[in-house]
Structures are given as C-alpha cells and as structure tokens.
C-alpha cells in the first residue's frame, strides 16, 4: 500500500471483531521495526507478545476497565519496552545530555511507529495504551528491571470504520527559518 495512504488508514481501533493473529505477521512487522533509526544504532527497543485467547486474557487483566472495554475480542497484545542506560549514554554509562533515557523512549516510539504501519499494511489494527499495571506486566513477561516498560498495544482486526480524529494544521506546528 502507498505509504501516504497507510498513514491515514492507521487508526486507534477500539472495536475488534473476533480473529486470530498470525505470529508470522508479528515477526514480519518487527523485522520492519528494526529498520527504524536509533541512537548510535543501539536498538534498545524490546517487543513482548502475548498471542492467543488465554495469554491475551492475562494482559487484559492488567489494563484499566475503560481500556478493557476497547479490547473485547482482542487475542494478541504487545508490550513494548526499552533497555535503559544505553541510548543517550556513552559506552561508559555517562549521560550525554539533559534527555537521559528520554532518548531511549524516543527511539522506541520510532520503532513502534514502523511496527504499527507494517502491521496495518498486513491488514491488522492496533490500539496503544499508556495506562497499564507496569509491575504486573513485568512479572507476567519476566521483563528485567533494566528495561523501561512503555505501551501495551492491542492487535486485531477492526469491527467497523474507526473515526478519523482531527489533526493540527501543518502551519500550526511547523516553522521555517
Ligand atoms: C503514548 C500513547 C498512549 C495512549 N494511551 C491510550 C489509552 O490508554 N487508551 C486509549 O483508548 N487510547 C490511547 N492512545 C491512543 C490515542 O488516544 C490516539 O492515538 C489519538 O487519539 C489519535 O487517534 P488515532 O490513533 O486514531 O489517529 C494512546 C496513544 C499514545 C501514542
């Protein structure tokens, strides 16, 4: 699909129809995500998947109720994290500037954006959720303390046509010297 169309097609989907998620599709999307730029090519993004109804239920239980309502029929979740103390730091572990681990979060966002677009191209929808039980997810997936857990992403197929949220005008967010 043409990239510009893909940007418009991707939406946060809060109503899913029952469908299985193909693990190979997830792996293919991660193989696109690794092409994202990162601080000194440090690639600190990490992807934790729960695929299948039983495993998905365990992730669902760690979401607030309003997000659970959006995830009915979702049978695959992704938890994204990044290895801290690398992006934004020297090899000796010295923080490069005021951003610190903000650069790791920046890199993960880029990686996740690539992932979501690849997923959409393969016909799958998603919902990023920032509100989640971080400690519960760490235990469930065995995520080490060296990694910062970021979003939980629901993955499935849209039940209807999701609304296109309004966007700012180019002139409002850009300036040219
Ligand atoms: C970091 C982040 C956290 C988000 N958390 C939630 C959430 O907890 N629940 C939810 O329904 N949507 C959540 N969203 C989705 C946004 O509300 C959505 O991306 C935004 O309204 C634009 O709509 P669109 O994705 O359909 O273009 C989150 C998005 C991001 C990037």
pLDDT at position 131 is 87
| Cβ of 12 less than 6 Å from ligand 1 | yes
Residue 177 in any domain: the answer is no
- The Cα–Cα gap between 112 and 141 comes to 18
- The 10s digit of each residue's pLDDT in 105-120 is 999 999 999 999 999 9
Condensed to tens digits (0 to 9), the pLDDT of residues 125-148 reads 999 999 889 999 999 999 999 999
Distance of CA 172 to the CA centre of its chain: 27
Task: Categorize the per-residue pLDDT at 19 as very low, low, confident or very high, splitting at 50, 70 and 90.
Answer: very high
- For 74-107, write each residue's pLDDT tens digit: 999 999 999 999 999 999 999 999 999 999 999 9
| CATH number of the domain that residue 152 is part of | 3.40.109.10
Whose C-alpha lies nearest to ligand 1, atom 17?
Answer: 12
Specify if 133 maps to a domain: yes
- 9 domain residue, yes or no: no
62-74 average pLDDT score: 97
Q: Give the residue whose CA is nearest to atom 1 of ligand 1.
A: 130
pTM higher than 0.85: yes
Contact 54, 77 (CB under 8 A): no
Three-state SS letters, 68-89: HHHCCCCCEEEEEEEECCCCCE
Spatial neighbors of 11 by CB under 8 A, at least 6 apart, are 125, 158, 162, 163, 164, 165
Residue 174 lies in a domain: no
Would 128 be classed as within a structural domain? Answer: yes
How far is residue 76's CA from residue 62's CA, in Å, rounded to a whole number? 14
Assigned domain for 4 exists: no
CA 131 – CA 133 distance, rounded (Å): 7
Total domain count, the chain? 1
Q: What is the pLDDT of residue 42?
A: 98
Q: Is residue 82 part of a domain?
A: yes
Angle in degrees, CA 13, 76, 105, rounded to 5 = 75
Q: Is residue 31 scored above 80 in pLDDT?
A: yes
Assess whether the C-beta atom of 168 lies below 6 angstroms from ligand 1: no
- Give residue 66's domain range: 14-159
- Identify whether 53 is part of a domain: yes
């Amino acid at each position: 699909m043409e990239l510009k169309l893909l940007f418009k097609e991707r939406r946060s989907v809060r109503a899913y129809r029952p469908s299985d998620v193909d693990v190979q599709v997830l792996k293919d999307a991660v193989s696109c995500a690794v092409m994202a730029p990162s601080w000194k090519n440090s690639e600190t993004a990490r992807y934790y998947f729960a695929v299948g109804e039983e495993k998905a239920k365990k992730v669902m239980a760690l979401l607030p109720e309003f997000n659970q309502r959006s995830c009915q029929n979702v049978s695959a979740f992704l938890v994204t994290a990044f290895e801290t103390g690398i992006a934004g730091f020297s090899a000796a572990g010295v923080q490069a500037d005021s951003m610190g681990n903000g650069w790791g979060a920046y890199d993960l966002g880029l990686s996740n954006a690539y992932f979501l677009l690849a997923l959409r191209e393969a016909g799958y929808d998603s919902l990023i959720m920032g509100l989640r039980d971080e400690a519960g997810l760490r235990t469930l997936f065995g995520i080490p303390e060296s990694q910062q857990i970021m979003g939980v992403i629901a993955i499935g197929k849209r039940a209807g046509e999701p609304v296109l949220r309004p966007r700012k005008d180019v002139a409002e967010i850009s300036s040219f010297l």
